[in-house]
Amino acid sequence: MPFFNRSRRGFSLIEMMVVIAIVGVIAGISGPPIFRYINSNRLQTDADRLGADLQYARTLSISTSTILRFTSTQAGYQLTDPITGTIIRDKVFENGMQLAADQTADFFPWGMADATVFNISNNTGAMTVNLLPTGIVEVN
């Protein structure tokens, strides 16, 4: 009786190496598009968050009847009360995200705001967040 039974034979080393090589090639081909997708999604998410924080600033300014200041740098932005200096909201960008320029926009209790265009970008592209004089925010 032979030691190895034909029906219980496994994979050879060559077969396993071929399978590992195929998986490696597929991973190498699909890796860059996945990372571009992730960075593109991060850009959209941060642009939407910037727009939501601008809308929040307008709403808070109206509800509290105070002027609020939205100040941005390339690394992030802050929403503050310019009279007391209190920081209401603070965001620091991560993963290569940045704004094109340092800008300031004031929100007024009657719903208006300083018209400002925020250009947010990372290594996959750029998006524009428009703050209109009416205080309405558009994310493009």
Residue 2 belongs to a domain: no
- Our count of domains for the chain comes to 1
Of the candidates 104, 134, 111, the one whose C-alpha atom is nearest the C-alpha of residue 63 is 111
Name the DSSP class of 115: -
Residue 5 within any structural domain of the chain = no
We report the CATH number of the domain holding residue 91 as 3.55.40.10
CA 97/CA 54 separation, integer angstroms: 18
Give per-10-residue mean pLDDT for the chain (140 aa). Answer: 61 90 88 87 95 97 96 95 95 93 96 96 95 96
Give a yes or no: residue 108 inside a domain: yes
- Please provide the DSSP assignment of 32-87 as one string: HHHHHHHHHHHHHHHHHHHHHHHHHHHHHHHHHT--EEEEEETTEEEEE-TTT--E
Q: Is residue 4 part of a domain?
A: no
Domain that holds residue 110: 12-139
Domain assignment of residue 71, yes or no: yes
DSSP summary character for residue 134: T
pTM: 0.80
22: in domain: yes
Q: Is residue 21 included in any domain, yes or no?
A: yes
In a domain, 35, yes or no: yes
At residue 108, the pLDDT reads 97
